[in-house]
């Protein structure tokens, strides 16, 4: 069944469940290793954590995003863009508060891919002590439509 543009546009403003996320030392070492770099040291977290930690903080998996965006199949979704903003360094073993929402939906037509929705969301990580913004990730996904 085709997903209407109105149905997908209604996702703008959808709030993700709030939660917390922390990056343990072992996880930081593995993240750093996957990028071919040494851990930053002094308890600082490698920025690559912003790929998965914000989603974990709001209790979502990639598959949950696919379902929310009404993807017709796993093959119908492509990663779009990622913007990571570190307002100050992330630290190991700090339980950051996470909150986020769907911020945009745009239906587009591509000669090679056909109809697609570009769905954007933002997740913020806040300091558990004073609530200040520590990091933000803004991401978009391309959701291919068959009709």
pLDDT digits (tens, 9 = 90+) for 45-101: 999 999 899 999 999 998 899 899 998 888 888 888 999 999 999 999 999 999 999
Nearest alpha-carbon partner for 80 in 67, 90, 65: 65
Nearest alpha-carbon partner for 18 in 138, 105, 123, 131: 123
108 half-sphere exposure, CB direction, 13 A CA radius: 14
Query: What is the value of pTM for the model shown?
Result: 0.90
The range of the structural domain enclosing residue 32 comes to 5-144
Mean per-residue pLDDT, 119-147:
94
Nearest alpha-carbon partner for 104 in 123, 124, 119, 83: 119
Q: Which phi-psi region, left, alpha or beta, contains residue 134 (left: φ > 0; alpha: ψ -120 to 50)?
A: alpha
pLDDT beyond 70 at 35: yes
CA 52 to chain centre: 7
DSSP the chain: -PPPHHHHHTTTTPBPPPEEE---HHHHHHHHHHTTS---STTBPPGGGGGTHHHHHTT--HHHHHHHTT-SSGGGEEEEEEEEEESS--BTT--EEEEEEEEEEEEEEETTTEEEEEEEEEEEEE-TTT--EEEEEEEEEEEE---
Q: What is the pLDDT of residue 23?
A: 96
Of residues 74 and 121, the one with the higher pLDDT is: 121
pLDDT band at 147 (very low <50, low <70, confident <90, very high): low
CATH of the domain at 88: 3.10.129.10
The residues pairing with 10 across neighbouring beta strands, listed in sequence order, are none
Which residue shows structure tokens 């990028």? Answer: 35
The total domain count for the chain is 1
């Amino acid at each position: 069944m085709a997903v209407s543009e109105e149905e997908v546009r209604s996702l703008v403003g959808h709030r993700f469940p709030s939660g917390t996320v922390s990056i343990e030392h072992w996880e930081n070492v593995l993240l750093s290793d996957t990028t071919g770099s040494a851990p930053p040291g002094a308890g600082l977290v490698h920025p690559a954590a912003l790929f998965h930690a914000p989603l974990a903080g709001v209790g979502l998996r990639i598959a949950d995003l696919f379902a929310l965006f009404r993807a017709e199949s796993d093959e119908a979704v492509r990663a779009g863009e990622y913007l990571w903003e570190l307002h100050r360094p992330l630290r190991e073993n700090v339980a950051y508060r996470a909150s986020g929402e769907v911020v945009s939906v745009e239906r587009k037509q591509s000669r090679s891919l056909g109809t697609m929705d570009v769905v954007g969301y933002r997740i913020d990580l806040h300091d558990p002590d004073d609530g200040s913004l520590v990091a933000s990730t803004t991401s978009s996904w391309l959701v291919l439509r068959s009709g």
